[in-house]
Structure 1
């Protein structure tokens, strides 16, 4: 039993190191020092300035796509957290506003969506993979991760920024 626990612990440490390395490589183009202006128009025609909103409280920003299989697993958690914290999503290459709204309705998602159909916002930040979750606080990028993230992971990232 003791050797099994030791092997599980070693596997866990290796998994965490590999996850960190992959996350670092996937986000190598994101400028962690100088966050560009993050403004957009939601699919409901509401102008949003994410950087300005972050001066009121931490903001969760979720880059995703309707075509992304991992996003379909992460989006329900993002939807849940959006009921408690300011959460804005940026849909990359997911069609026009009507198509995106139909998708949101069919999935019953409530989070705010900025349509980045030409990837202009994503390119300005250096985002190349989805899903990507960022937490912006006081105009600065304080936390981010790519790939699958759980509801608990989302809460942890927001709580970390709030301290």
Structure 2
């Protein structure tokens, strides 16, 4: 029995290592077009009426930038983590092609999300940032991309990226 558990543990370790390698390679490939040093402007007004300027916000602190959509099924798993994180760290979220402001507000209210949202109804910010996959999460510090990931990401994964930025 002990030998069998050791075999399973070894297989699990190999699986986890391969998963990290594959997801890392996918992020590198998907992020090849994302501007790293001269990030596009990300300024606007949230649905709550607050002004957001990423360049100013990211001076001397890491900021989570979360591109998501109401129609994105994976975002349903990532958004709760971003919502929790937004209580403790600066977070800028952008709803991509998710409809009019009222529709996005209702979605946020229905899901009980409290993070601030810039509604990119026409995908202008998404195009500027060359966002091709939802969800996309970037960690920006001093106006530069420190981390980039797409698809499913956990709360510990986002938190870890913030800590090493």
In the superposition, the TM-score normalised over structure 2's length comes to 0.92
Single out whichever of 60-69 and 8-17 deviates more from structure 2: 8-17
RMSD (CA atoms): 1.3
For the pair shown, the structure with the greater C-alpha radius of gyration is 2
Runs of at least 5 residues in structure 2 that lack an aligned partner in the other structure? none
Runs of at least 5 residues in structure 1 that lack an aligned partner in the other structure? none
CA deviations on 1:96-151 (whole Å, 9 max, x unpaired) are 11111111111111101000111111111111101011111111111111111111
Distance in structure 2 (CA, Å) of the matches to 1:140 and 1:57:
11
- Name the structure 1 match of 2:41: 37
In the superposition, the TM-score normalised over structure 1's length comes to 0.93
Aligned with residue 94 of structure 2, among 90, 96, 102:
90
CA deviations on 1:63-101 (whole Å, 9 max, x unpaired) are 000000000111011000000001110000111111111
Task: Please state if 1:69 is matched with 2:54.
Answer: no
Distance in structure 1 (CA, Å) of the matches to 2:43 and 2:9:
49
Does structure 1 conserve the Cα–Cα contact (< 8 Å) formed by 2:45 and 2:51?
yes
